[in-house]
Structure 1
Amino acid sequence: MKLVPSGQGTTKVSPIWGGLGIALLASIGAVWFVSQLPVLTIAYAAGLATLVVLAIALGRSRPVAQEDELAQPDWSVTVAAINRDDSGVAITDRANRLVCANTRYADQFGVGKAPPNIALDGPSHEALTRVAREAWRDGSSIADRVSSPDGARIWRAEAERAGRGDDYLLWRFRSLEAGDAAGELAQQVSGTFGTMLSRAGVEAALVGADGVIRAVAPGFAERASGDANATLAGQDYVSLLRTDERDRIYFSREGRRGTPHALVHVPLNNPDDQRGAAADEVPSLMLLVEHGIALGAGEDTGTANATPQLESLLGALPLGLAMTDRDGRFLFGNAPFLRAIDREEQGLPQYPSDLVVKEDKGALADAVRRFGKGSANSGDMAIRLRSVPEDPVSLGLAGVRGLGDAAVLLSLADSSEETKLKRQVAQATKMQAVGQLAGGVAHDFNNVLTAIIGYCDLMLLRHTPGDSDYDDIQQIRANSNRAASLTRQLLAFSRQQTLRPEVVQLPDVVSEVNQLLKRLVGEKIEFTVRHDRDLGPVRADPSQLEQVIINLAVNARDAIQSGGNSKGRLTMATRRVLAKDVQGMGSDILPVGDYTALIVQDTGGGIPDDVLPKIFEPFFTTKEQGKGTGLGLSTVYGIVKQSGGFIFADNVAGAGGKPSGARFTIYLPVHHGDVPAAASKDDDAPPSEWSGGGKLLLVEDEDMVRAVAERALSRAGYAVTACADGEEGLAAIANGGSFDLVVSDVVMPGMDGPAMARAIRRVAPSIPFLFMSGYAEEQLRNDIDIDNMHFIPKPFSVQQISQKVGEVLGASQDR
């Protein structure tokens, strides 16, 4: 700025002018004395007077010496004005010299260099150079993102031409780091948003954890200091306010002649921060609400007169907020709070304790009452909502004053999506763990059943029908086979059963069991089957698919009959699902591709919402005790997943929006490979019979199974050498033993079956192997990549193992 001297435009009367006047008067007297002519004397005097007037006029028109150069500005005043905490500010001249800068700029960039020559990465330096060029040319420019050389810090840079002669550039650097979110809010509070709040009777201020002001709304600045443009950053927030004996808040400058206010304290801690920063470690948004518009502000009106202004204010914030009176009754809650408690349609209940499970009601009610009647403070507690009782959430509580009756501000983050994801992960983890446990139990149980069934078969060889023990042995064998069926269901759920996949058409599989299904569902239930055209073939085990269809039909029948109504409708349909249809579904689970779908729908009243996520869990059943094992749907789930498919369950909406029935949809991927030709009669011919006995090496660590298998094979005419583990079996061949076939268990302590087989093949490359296992054959073949390997599942009977050994030896003879 130009500074004008204080005496500019005036002249000083020098002492020389007094002496000159005396000399002029003396010269006029001398002319009169010499000439004694009045006319000449007057003319001479007039001429002198004219000369004096001209001299004086010239002296007045010429000012005294003044400074023509610019006075140096006092930049300390400018530094004080731009010293803000939310952004770094610097001023440069046309020579690109740093004239002044605030403290935040000096902390971030130092004062050694001026923009754009500060420490930034290459692209950011180029962007800042462009900003400087455009600001000198156009008046202002912005770079949305510049970063430090290591990329750890990011800023938004602005440059604006300033000064009376536009001789300076004003630079602003606002941090965009995640931890500087309060800085962004400071910009909004001190800008248009703060002005709008002031018009609504709400004065906002951003205050640090130490109680020092970071930014205020223009209305707050005017009320506190008398100047809307005043910066109050760095001042103590409390020092600008005062309270009376009834906790009403006033601006200190206005005193009690001003309008009383109520204080709403909103800590700006991140609700997603798992560390949970304490309220005294984060900045806060302080809202002063005028007594006339605040909820419950008037003594006579009570707290029931909710005002739209405060509700609108809290409704604009993304955090779920609700307010209660000092008796703990809900006054209102914003939309994010209603979403967080899953009550967008029902609205708020009367008390906060109505939102939580029974065990948390007392603790929450006591906390709300304590915060409502105590001093103004804040805290949080873990609660379990009735809508999601399995997942605790953190509820923030803050006692507020100045709203008439004491009140409590409740805060709750909307974590519905996060809770849903956690529930899905927990469900998948639980299913995997139970599947592994079920598979292990089934494997061990199969060994026991193999021994029981084998000994029953050996006893039946000595007892004929009519014998007193024959029927008892048959009962033992029948119940053992029933237990074996149960273990197969466990293996199916854990996806460890043996499948015989074929390329089939779903309508053909449904037709195979159509008559059986009609008998199962009964005459009172209407059974309908519909098929789409041009269905793609699928690759699956037909017998297992039949088991899936039967289980779903029986489950639908029981659902219809459980409602006390013996009549109903069961619909089974196949659908063609193209890749574009799957893409249109937008499913995160079902990959895009062509599928053939099987839909089973009933009119049994649907599945309760709390039961729906659990229906595929093993041993979970809603039937009465003794009427269900809880393995039907879990078996279906295991078979479908092992076949590479997907299964979904949902309810079908009926009249009034209530569920009218359940629907199960199975998606099996379409097989795009070559379809094998149907087997000819020659292909169905059994392998050539093994003539005579043979030498067998039997390796089994379970004593009972080894004994049964040894006796069964010995009775069939084979010479059996039994070994208890893999090392012993390998030693039997390494020591020169010659065998036609090795019959071995898979899982054994020490050296297991596959490891023994690889070692034996190095000694006897052509010897065939017959593995016995309760695990799936497909999984076994994936783990054991050797030729001439055969498989028999446990449990097996004496006849089955003898027959299987004969088939393997016959096939080996053909090779």
Structure 2
Amino acid sequence: MLSKSPSASSPVLPLAIALVAGAIAAGIILWTIGSLPVAIGFVAAAVVLAGVALGVRHWTGSAEATEPVVDWSLAQTLASVSPHALAVTDRAGRLVCANDRYAALFGGYPTPPGVLGDGVDASALAGAARSAWRDGDARVTVRQGDAPLVATLARAGEAMLVWRFEGGQAIAEAVTMRAMIAGDVGERLGGAGVMVALLSADGRIRAANRVFRARAVGNEDATIEGRDFARFLVTDSRGRVRFEREGLGGDPLRIVQVPFVDDPDGPMLVAMLDEEEAPVGLMPIAAPGSAAQVRALVSLLPVGMALVDRDGRFLHMNDAFVRATGVNPVAPPLYPGDLVVREDKAALADAVRRFAGGAQHSADMAVRLNDRSEEPIALSIAGARGLGEAAVVLSLRDTGEEGKLKRQVAQATKMQAVGQLAGGVAHDFNNILTAIIGHCDLMLMRHSPGDSDYDDIQQIRANSNRAASLTRQLLAFSRQQTLRPQVLQLPDVISEVSNLLKRLLGETVQLVVNHGRGLGSVRADPGQLEQVVVNLAVNARDAMLSQGGNRNVLTIETLATSAQEVRAMDDDVLPVGDYVTLKVSDTGTGIPADVLPKIFEPFFTTKEVGKGTGLGLSTVYGIIKQSGGYIFAESRPGQGSTFTIHLPVHAAAAEPPRLGTNPKLKSEPTEPAWGSGTILLVEDEDMVRAIAERALARQGYTVMTAEHGEAALELLADRPHIDLLISDVVMPTMDGPTMVRHVRKVYPTLPILFMSGYAEEQLRRSIDLDQVSFLPKPFSVQQLATAARDALAKS
């Protein structure tokens, strides 16, 4: 990986360099992962950092020019994962940064357009560069050797130009094939009587083995690279091909074209075999040893290939074809259609029949194998003439790993985007619920049980709490919920929830609980762990009841898993260590193999419309991952399913449970939360600020309000006496933590109570200050009053 750091020449040059670096990183991100919000974020971060740098430079009054050092590591890392060759040049045409793919494609780090030397293509690249500087982007197709290259150029800011070259795969494969022909593979083919030559798209020889050179020019050490292949051959009146040097008395040749790259304009591999001349009036037939020679050639090629006869039956498969298709070499399939799924059988059979009947050229098609129905592979089909019984050549390239990687990246990107969306929606929804619940509490203070409106208000409050639990599910899925971890014993959590499970499972499902010995402590939120067990149990119950029958058993087990046992598992995901393991097993119908990889995806459900949100298992996954654990699912159709959860052992001693962490202890305190003192309330949401002000005023506090951080600092400019600052964390103009740092300069010991609809863990880095408490939204009037009283008591 190549990168250079430009030097500074003016006070504003650091700003320009930072902006350009941000623009380049944003461009690479946009091309590599296609995420516009992330790319914009990089540009914004570069602007902020550059502004801070200029501010520091201005206030320090440094007149000495310093040499800025641009950190290209992020851009290099992003460029390294791109499948294309990437490079960055400056205004002077100098190479600033390039990835390893660029070096492999051009044999080092030449500066574009000099990568193609001198000529028409180099001039085309130079013209595209001028167009990109003028218009912002450009695209041109050039040739490197015999293969086309698509060059895409984009201007990054006003000082950098990003180059992307596509199409180098055919070149790399041609270089590999050229080395094989000139090496031991070419010698072995020559020993079997097979002459091999690699041709460019215009028919010129790029490489040939020793036997071909001896037959074509009479000298096995002659240099024939670059010469026209057709000039070495002649045809007679019957269409038979011979070497021109040997004349019409030489042995006729059988020519086989082997497709090994997808590009129709790319290089081609040609193999030639001697065949005996058939008597006049008879059709030529294959020589007795030619079939063995053809099969030897096919077996040596690194590309998966198979020969098919005129009836559509397999004649031969090489090892690469067997590995790629996963067939049993002891009992191979009879027809190509036996390899693919039912939907692709007819199309493949028609293509083989067409080429066996004499169709010209070749065709590519995507097929799905029986054992990998979700991973299509590229199959090339070509007609074969003069190969004896063989009439069709099949070649394939296994794109399974590449496709799997692309799907994983797409899935990870989708999950991240959905998680960010869920967190943002939950935050805004929590603000709305805070106002609804707060107004219900204020109304309940004026209505007593038996009042005509009392039950209606209670219903509104109860449904608001249900909505709040839904937002907690969204935050758990996106791993942004507020956890209250404790050091606890897993069997205690199972015991607490057992009675609830018995009521949920009903009379038709038997609950079996087994606890192992020597279990260590774990550190987790007990309420969230109970939610995990309940979600898994309810899913298992639905799976078992759907099949009917009387033998419905749900088994919950806890056991200790030592580091030695984890090491013996040899699992790539689970790190070696000591764990407390929770297993939840059922005797249901099991999870189908095609559904199992999707069960933790958000909003994925196999239930009928209206009977499942698709958030149950995704919430379980989010809670376990946020708690530092791992979850795995196993299932066999008809034999039930098992969910295994591994939580790391915590070495510290168990802590006493704290109020508010267990669902059974979440009842609000009934003692009055009256207090006195002056509170500054800072909240950008009008409805939340209004309800919080009324709630605190009713508890006896004097309340000052501000709609954002700057307004709060203006109120404090006269240095009034305040006892507590309550503030939202995320606000426009100035956020809560920034405001608090300014306030602490005047009030160094002032207690702070932060409130937010985002998770505390997500905000922990920004609110990690002295004498700070946190209240998650939505909250009730009583919870706000209690939190304010506790914050004042700690000061």
Fold match (TM-score > 0.5): yes
Instruction: For 1:402-413, list aligned pairs within 5 A.
Output: 402-403=386-387, 407-413=391-397
Let me know the Cα RMSD of the aligned residues: 4.2
Q: 1:693 is aligned with what amino acid?
A: S
What is the distance in 2 between the residues matched to 1:738 and 1:220?
98
SS at match of 2:725: strand
**Does the residue aligned with 2:514 lie in a helix, a strand or coil?**
strand
Q: Could you tell me how far 1:731 is from its partner in structure 2?
A: 1.6
The residue aligned with 2:579 is 595
Question: Which residue of the other structure, out of 645, 652, 655, is the alignment partner of 1:666?
Answer: 645
| Aligned partner (choices 262, 269, 273) of residue 284 of structure 1 | 269
Q: Per-residue displacement from partner, 1:182-212 (whole Å, max 9, x unpaired)?
A: 13322235523421x32xxx55445555545
Report % sequence identity: 57
Output the amino acid matched with 1:775: Y
- Give secondary structure in 2 for the equivalent of 1:514: helix
Secondary structure at the aligned position of 2:298 is classed as helix
Judge which range, 389-398 or 516-525, deviates more.
389-398
Q: Compared with structure 1, are the counterparts of its residues 555 and 665 closer, same or farther at alpha carbon in structure 2 (3 Å cutoff)? A: same
**Cross-structure match for 1:734:** 717
Instruction: Name the counterpart of 1:130.
Output: none
Which letter maps to 1:776?
A
Residue 675, structure 1, aligned to residue 659, structure 2: no
Q: 1:286 to 1:680 in 2, by over 3 A?
A: closer
Tell me how far 1:523 sits from its aligned partner: 3.8
Q: Secondary structure at the match of 2:611?
A: coil
User: Which of 626, 630, 636 is the matching residue for 2:610?
Assistant: 626
The reply on whether 1:482 has 2:466 as its aligned counterpart is yes
Are residues 214 and 752 of structure 1, via their aligned partners in 2, closer, same or farther at CA, if it must alter by over 3 Å? closer
Secondary structure of the residue that 2:446 maps to in structure 1? coil
Alpha-carbon deviations, 1:149-177, whole Å to 9, x = none?
A: x9969xxxxxxxxxxxxxxxxxxxxxx99
Structure 1 position 194 matched with structure 2 position 173? no
Q: Does 1:752 align with 2:752?
A: no
Q: Distance in 2 between matches of 1:725 and 1:352?
A: 69
Measured after TM superposition, the shift of residue 503 of structure 1 is 1.4
CA distance in 1 between counterparts of 2:774 and 2:570 reads 42
Shift of 1:351: 5.9
Equivalent position of 2:678 in the other structure: 695
User: Contact 1:279 / 1:379 at 8 angstroms: preserved in 2?
Assistant: no
| 1:553-586 Cα deviation digits (max 9, x unpaired) | 2112212222334533322222322223333333
Alpha-carbon distance between aligned partners in 2 of 1:700 and 1:738, rounded to the nearest angstrom:
20
Aligned equivalents of 2:638 and 2:299: distance in 1?
34
1:573 and 2:557 matched: yes
Maintained 8 Å contact 2:566/2:576:
yes
C-alpha separation in 1, matches of 2:639 and 2:382: 46
Distance 2:560 2:706 in 1: 54
Q: In structure 2, what is the Cα distance between the partners aligned to 1:247 and 1:607?
A: 62
CA deviation vs aligned residue, 1:45-99 (integer Å, no higher than 9, x gap):
xxxxxxxxxxxxxxxxxxxxxxxxxxxxxxxxxxxxxxxxxxxxxxxxxxxxxxx
Partner in structure 1 of residue 12 of structure 2: none
CA 334–180 in structure 1, closer or farther in 2 if over 3 Å, else same: closer
Alpha-carbon offset, residue 244 of structure 1:
6.7
2:305 aligned with 1:321, yes or no? yes
The residue aligned with 2:87 is: none
Q: For 1:498 and 1:680, how far apart are their aligned partners in 2? A: 15
Closer, same or farther: CA 447–213 of 1 in aligned 2, 3 Å: closer
What code does the residue aligned with 1:766 have? T
Residues 290 and 605 from structure 1, CA distance in 2 versus in 1: closer, same or farther, beyond 3 angstroms? farther
- The amino acid across from 2:178 in the alignment is A
**C-alpha offsets along residues 722-779 of structure 1, whole Å, 9 cap, x if unaligned?**
2211111222122222221111111111111111111111111111111111222233
Output the CA distance in 1 between the equivalents of 2:720 and 2:355.
86
Question: Residues 713-728 of structure 1: matches in 2 within 5 Å?
Answer: 713-728=696-711
- In the alignment, what sits opposite 1:185? 181
Aligned residues: 612
- 2:695 is the alignment partner of 1:712: yes
Structure 1 pair 742/343, CA: closer, same or farther in 2 (3 Å)? farther
- C-alpha distance 505-347 of structure 1, shift in aligned 2 (>3 A): farther
Structure 1: segments with no counterpart, 5+ residues: 1-149, 154-175, 270-275, 653-657
Measure, in 2, the Cα distance between the counterparts of 1:779 and 1:532.
35
The alignment status of 1:605 with 2:589, answered yes or no, reads yes
After superposing the two structures, state which structure 1 stretch, 465-474 or 498-507, moved more.
465-474
Which residue pairs with 1:771 in the alignment? 754
- The answer on whether the counterparts of 1:259 and 1:290 sit within 8 Å (CA) in structure 2 is yes
Letter in 2 for 1:727: E
Residue pair 2:512, 2:555 contacting (<8 A) in 1 also: yes
Alignment partners' CA distance in 2, 1:515 and 1:247: 89
Q: Residue 289 of structure 1: CA displacement?
A: 7.4
Deviation at 1:435, TM superposition (A): 1.2
- Structure 2: state its 5+ residue gaps: 1-105, 110-171, 660-664
* Residue 265 (structure 1) aligns with: 257
- Structure 2 counterpart of 1:502, from 473, 486, 489: 486
Rounded Cα–Cα distance in structure 2 between residues aligned with 1:292 and 1:501: 86
The offset of 1:245, in angstroms, is 7.7
2:420 maps to which residue? 436
| 1:615 Cα deviation after fit | 0.8
Could you list the per-position Cα deviations for residues 205-233 of structure 1 after superposition, in whole angstroms to 9, with x for gaps in the alignment? 455555455666676678768x7968684
Once the 2 structures are TM-superposed, how far is the Cα of residue 283 of structure 1 from its aligned partner?
5.0
What one-letter code is carried by the residue in structure 2 that aligns with 1:694?
A: G
Contact 1:353 1:364 in 2 (8 A): no
Q: Distance in 2 between matches of 1:545 and 1:748?
A: 32
Q: Cα distance, 1:618 vs. partner?
A: 1.3
Q: For the structure 1 residues 679 and 614, does the alpha-carbon distance in structure 2 shift closer, same or farther, using more than 3 Å as the test?
A: closer
Give 1:528 shift. Answer: 2.5
Match of 1:555 among 539, 544, 554: 539
Residue 791 (str. 1) matches residue 774 (str. 2): yes
Contact kept, 8 Å, 1:700 with 1:724, in 2: the verdict is: yes
- Distance in 2 (CA, whole Å) between partners of 1:806 and 1:758 is 23
Shift of 1:706: 1.3
Matched AA of 2:569: M
- 1:265 partner letter: Q
| Conserved? CA contact 1:329–1:352, under 8 Å | no
Moved more, 590-599 or 741-750: 590-599
Task: Write out per-residue CA displacement over residues 585-642 of structure 1, whole angstroms, 9 at most, x where no aligned residue.
Answer: 3332222222222122222232222211211111111111222111111111111111
Kept after mapping to 2: 8 A contact 1:248/1:402: no
Q: How far off its partner does 1:471 sit?
A: 2.1
C-alpha spacing 1:596/1:240, structure 2 compared with 1 (3 Å): same
Instruction: Tell me if structure 1 keeps the 8 A contact 2:588–2:638.
Output: no
With normalisation by structure 2, the TM-score equals: 0.67
Counterpart code for 2:705: A
Mapping of residues 198-209 of structure 1, within 5 Å:
198=193, 202-207=194-199
- How many Å separate the matches in 1 of 2:201 and 2:629? 56
Deviation at 1:787, TM superposition (A): 1.0
Distance 1:397 1:417 in 2: 22
User: Post-superposition shift, 1:300?
Assistant: 11
Q: Secondary structure at the match of 1:412?
A: strand
Tell me the distance in 1 between the aligned counterparts of 2:642 and 2:657.
Answer: 37
Q: 2: CA distance between counterparts of 1:664 and 1:418?
A: 29
Contact preservation (8 Å) 1:572, 1:599: yes
The 1:468/1:183 distance shift into structure 2, 3 A limit, reads same
1:792/1:230 Cα in 2 relative to 1: closer, same or farther (>3 Å)? Answer: closer
Contact 2:258–2:269 (Cα < 8 Å) also in 1:
yes
**TM superposition shift of 1:285:** 4.0
SS in 1 for 2:765: helix
